[in-house]
Structure 1
C-alpha cells in the first residue's frame, strides 16, 4: 500500500513540478495562433475547449493500453510500479508533450513529416510507411477483438459485429472531428477515469485491509515465466509509461488546441493520468490475486487480460463493475481503433499534400485503408500483433530522437529527451534480438548489444553536437520555432 501511495504521489507531483519545468523550458507562445485557429476547416482543424481536447487525447492514447499492459506488467511484481511512475514522468509525458507541441509549431503536421524535418528525408519515407502500417494494424486488431467479444456476449455472429464496427470506423474517420469524436470521447474518457477511481477505492476497502495480503515491495523479478525485466518489462508496459502510438495521436489533437498555453494540460497531463490508470490496474491486479503466480493462473484460465478485467471489476464493484468491464474490453478498443484509422488518413494526406476539406477526398484515402482492414481481419493476428509491442516502442524511440534534435535546434535543454531516447535505443535493440518474435538470441548477448548500440548512437550524436553539424543539417523550416 505504501509503495502504491508513494508512486501515486510522485506521479501527481511530477505533473506539477517536472511538467511545469518542461513547459517553461520548451517555451510555448500563448500569443501565437494555433493551427486550430489559423487553419480552421471544421473537419480536422477545429478549436475546442481544453478539457474536451484533454479527454479526447486521454482516450485516444489510452484505450485498453494502460489496462491490459499494466495487468501483464504486474506479472513482474511491484518493480513494474517504478517503470510506470518514472517512465511516465520522464519519458512518456515528455514524449507526448513534445510530439504535440512540435506538431503545433508545424501547423498540425503528422509524425512522419516531423521526423523527416528533423531526421532527414530517408527517415521520413521510412516513417510514412512504418506509421501507416502500424496504424492499420492497430485499427484492424481493434475491429477483431471487440467484434469477437460482442459476438460471444450477444449471440450475434462475428461477421455482424465486424461490419457494424467497420461502418462506425468509416464514419468516425470521415466526419469532422467534433461530430463523433468530439461528442462521444469525452464521455468515454470520463468513464475510464471513474472506472480507475472506483477500482482504487474498492481495492483499499477490500484488499489493502489485510484480508488478502499483497506481495511486499521488492525489486526482485517475480515473473512466473522468468522473463527478464530488461528489456521485457519496458515493452510490456507501453501505453502506461511510454508509447510511440501516442505520437500518431498527439498531432490530431494539435489541430484542436485553441491556445499553446493549454499544451501542458492536454499532452503532458493526459499521459500522467494514463500513468495513474496503469498504476491503479497494476496494483489492483497484484492486490486482488495476492501474488504473480495466482495472477498468471487467472490470465490463463480466463482467456487473457479481458477475462481478468471482468473478474476484477465484477469482484470489486459488482454489477457496476460488469458495466465498467464492458467499457474496458469493448468500448475502449473501439475508440482506439477509429482514431488509428483517422490518424492514418491524416498521415497519408500530409504525405501527398491532399487537402481534406471535401468529403470525397477523405473517402479517397480512407476506403483503401478499410479494404486492407477487411482483408486482414481474415488472418490470425496472434503472431503479427506480437510485433506491435516492439514496433510501438521503436516508434517512441524515433520520436524521442526527433524531439532531441528539435530542442537542440532551438537551443533548449535537449537532455530531457536525449536520456530516454538513449535508454529506449538499448531496450528496443535488446528486445528484438532476444524476443520470441525476434532472433531469440541469449539475454546476456542481446543486452550487451543493446547497450553497445545505445552508447554508439549517443556518442555519435554528442560528437556531431560538439562539432555543430546537427544544427547545420536541420532544414530551414525547423529554425527559430521557439523564438517567435
Structure 2
C-alpha cells in the first residue's frame, strides 16, 4: 500500500515541481493569442474551457494503453510502477507538453509539420508516413479491443448473442461520424463526461481493493520486489518493459493528439494543466491498473496465467466484476471500453488533419473532410482482419519511435533558441537507445541480434544522433520565427 501511495504522491509532486520547471524553460506568454482565437473555424479550431479541454485531452491520450500496457508490465512485478513514475514525470509529460505547446506556437500544426520545422524536410516526410501508419494502427487497435470486450460482456451477461464483426462495424460507423463533424459537437460535448467517468472508475476500483478483506494493494510483495525483475517467463526487463508500458509512461501517440487540443486551448498559461497535467493523470491511471493486476490476483504467476488464457482484457473483466459486483462491474468495465473508443476516433481525426496539412486542403468544407477520411477508414477496415496480437506488437514499437522523434523535435526547438535543452534531450537519448536496441534484439519484429550487441549499437547510434541534433540546431537563430511564433498582444480593452 505504501509503495502505491508513494508512487502516486511522486506523480503529483512531479506536476507541481518539475512541470513548473518545464513551463519556465519553454517560456509561456499569456499575451500571445492562441490558434483557437486566431484561426477559429467552427470545425477544428474551436475555443473551449480549460476544464473541458483537459478532460478531452485525457480521454484522447488514454486509450487501452494505460490499462493493457501496465497490466502486461505488471508481469515484471512492482518495479514496473517505478518506470511509470519516472517515465511519466521526466519523459512522457514533458513530451506531451512540448507537442502541445509547439503546436500552439506553430498555428495548431500537426507533429509532421513540427518535425519538419525543427528537424528538416527529410524528417517531415518520414513523420508524415510514420504518423499516418501509427494512427492507423492505433485506430485498428482501438476498434478491435473495445469490440472484443463489448462482445464478451453482452454474450456473457445477457441472453443476446453478438458477433465480433457486427460490433466492429458499429464502432467504425461512430468513428466516421466523430472524425468529420466539428470538434465541439461530439468530442467537446460528451467526452468531458466520459473523462469524469474514467476518473471515477479508476478511483472506485483501487478503493475497492483497499477496503477488501480478500485483497490488499501489493500486500503479497516485499520491499525488495519493488526493485527486481519478477517476470515468470524470464523475459529481460531491458528494453522490453519500456516498450510494453508505453501510454502510462511515454507515448508517441500523444504527440498526434495534443495538436487537437492545441487548436482549442484559449491561453498558453493553460498548457501545463492541459498537456503536462493530463499525462500525469494518465500515469495515475496506469499505476492503478498495474497495482490492481498485482493485488487482485495475488502474485505475478497467477496474473501470468490469466493473461495467457484471456489477455489483459480478461484481467480487466475479472477484477472489475470481482471487486464491484455485477452492477459496479458493468460500469467499471464500460469505463474501460470507453477509453479506446474515445482515442480511436481522435486517431482517425488526427490522420485526417495530417493529410489535410500535407495536401493543403481547407477542412471547413465537408467534401474535403470526406476526401481525407474515407481512404483512411478503408485501409483501417482491411487492417482489422489482421491478428490483433501482431497489430499490438507493431503499435508498441511505432508508438515509442514516434515519441523519440517528438522529443528530438523539442530538443531542436530549445537548441535553436538557446534554451536549456537537456529536459528533452536526455529522455530522447534514453528512448532512442530503447527503440534501437529493441528492434535489433527482438526476433519477431526485428533482427534477433544478441542483446549486448544490440545495446552497444543502440548506444553508439544514439550518441551519433545526439551530436548531429545539437550541432545542426544550436543557436540557429531568433530571426526566423513563423508568424504564429511571434507575440500577438491582446489589446487591454479586448
Q: What's 1:393 paired with?
A: 400
What is the DSSP-based 3-state SS (H/G/I as helix, E as strand, rest coil) of the residue aligned with 1:472? coil
Q: What's 1:459 paired with?
A: 467
RMSD between superposed Cα atoms in Å = 2.1
Report deviation, 1:385. 2.8
**In 1, Cα distance between equivalents of 2:331 and 2:103:** 34
Q: Is 1:363 paired with 2:370?
A: yes
**In 2, Cα distance between equivalents of 1:274 and 1:90:** 14
**In 1, Cα distance between equivalents of 2:427 and 2:218:** 37
Query: Where do 1:82-101 residues align within 5 Å?
Result: 82-101=82-101
Report deviation, 1:285. 1.2
Query: Where do 1:273-292 residues align within 5 Å?
Result: 273-292=281-300
Q: What's 1:147 paired with?
A: 147
Query: Where do 1:96-115 residues align within 5 Å?
Result: 96-115=96-115
What is the count of residue pairs matched by the alignment?
479
Q: Is 1:181 paired with 2:187?
A: yes
Q: Is 1:293 paired with 2:301?
A: yes
**In 1, Cα distance between equivalents of 2:103 and 2:404:** 17
Q: Is 1:378 paired with 2:385?
A: yes
Report deviation, 1:80. 0.8
What is the DSSP-based 3-state SS (H/G/I as helix, E as strand, rest coil) of the residue aligned with 1:230? coil
The answer to whether the 8 A contact 2:217-2:295 is kept is no
Query: Where do 1:55-94 residues align within 5 Å?
Result: 55-94=55-94
Report deviation, 1:407. 1.0
Report deviation, 1:12. 0.5
Q: Is 1:222 paired with 2:226?
A: no
Report deviation, 1:474. 9.9
Report deviation, 1:441. 1.6
**In 2, Cα distance between equivalents of 1:127 and 1:184:** 31
Q: Deviations over 1:152-175 (max 9, x none)?
A: 424123332222111111110000
Report deviation, 1:445. 1.8
Residue segments in structure 2 that go unaligned for 5+ positions in a row: 156-160, 489-494
Q: Deviations over 1:65-111 (max 9, x none)?
A: 11111111111111111110011000000000000000000010000
**In 2, Cα distance between equivalents of 1:419 and 1:455:** 11
The answer to whether the 8 A contact 1:116-1:123 is kept is yes
Moved more, 274-283 or 366-375: 366-375
The answer to whether the 8 A contact 2:28-2:269 is kept is yes
Identify if the C-alpha distance between structure 1 residues 483 and 365 changes in structure 2 by more than 3 Å, giving closer, same or farther: closer
Report deviation, 1:335. 1.1
Q: What's 1:476 paired with?
A: 480
Identify if the C-alpha distance between structure 1 residues 190 and 400 changes in structure 2 by more than 3 Å, giving closer, same or farther: same
What is the DSSP-based 3-state SS (H/G/I as helix, E as strand, rest coil) of the residue aligned with 1:394? helix
**In 1, Cα distance between equivalents of 2:291 and 2:363:** 44
**In 1, Cα distance between equivalents of 2:218 and 2:181:** 49
User: TM-score, normalised to structure 2's length?
Assistant: 0.93
Query: Where do 1:11-410 residues align within 5 Å?
Result: 11-152=11-152, 153-154=154-155, 155-206=161-212, 213-217=219-223, 218=225, 219-301=227-309, 303-410=310-417
Identify if the C-alpha distance between structure 1 residues 43 and 210 changes in structure 2 by more than 3 Å, giving closer, same or farther: closer
Report deviation, 1:355. 0.9
Moved more, 41-50 or 363-372: 363-372
Identify if the C-alpha distance between structure 1 residues 210 and 278 changes in structure 2 by more than 3 Å, giving closer, same or farther: closer
User: TM-score, normalised to structure 1's length?
Assistant: 0.94
Identify if the C-alpha distance between structure 1 residues 187 and 116 changes in structure 2 by more than 3 Å, giving closer, same or farther: same
Report deviation, 1:471. 3.6
**In 2, Cα distance between equivalents of 1:231 and 1:474:** 38
Residue segments in structure 1 that go unaligned for 5+ positions in a row: none
What is the DSSP-based 3-state SS (H/G/I as helix, E as strand, rest coil) of the residue aligned with 2:476? helix
The answer to whether the 8 A contact 2:83-2:249 is kept is yes
Identify if the C-alpha distance between structure 1 residues 54 and 410 changes in structure 2 by more than 3 Å, giving closer, same or farther: same
Identify if the C-alpha distance between structure 1 residues 15 and 482 changes in structure 2 by more than 3 Å, giving closer, same or farther: farther
Report deviation, 1:482. 7.5
**In 1, Cα distance between equivalents of 2:215 and 2:304:** 23
The answer to whether the 8 A contact 1:410-1:481 is kept is no
The answer to whether the 8 A contact 1:96-1:246 is kept is yes
Report deviation, 1:212. 8.2
**In 2, Cα distance between equivalents of 1:478 and 1:91:** 27
Choose which of 397, 408, 424 in structure 2 pairs with 1:417. Answer: 424
The answer to whether the 8 A contact 1:77-1:223 is kept is yes
Q: What's 2:158 paired with?
A: none
Identify if the C-alpha distance between structure 1 residues 113 and 300 changes in structure 2 by more than 3 Å, giving closer, same or farther: same
The answer to whether the 8 A contact 1:36-1:254 is kept is yes
Identify if the C-alpha distance between structure 1 residues 132 and 47 changes in structure 2 by more than 3 Å, giving closer, same or farther: same
Report deviation, 1:318. 1.5
The answer to whether the 8 A contact 2:197-2:335 is kept is no
Identify if the C-alpha distance between structure 1 residues 151 and 4 changes in structure 2 by more than 3 Å, giving closer, same or farther: closer
Q: Deviations over 1:237-292 (max 9, x none)?
A: 00000000000000011000011110011000000010011011111111112221
The answer to whether the 8 A contact 1:117-1:478 is kept is no
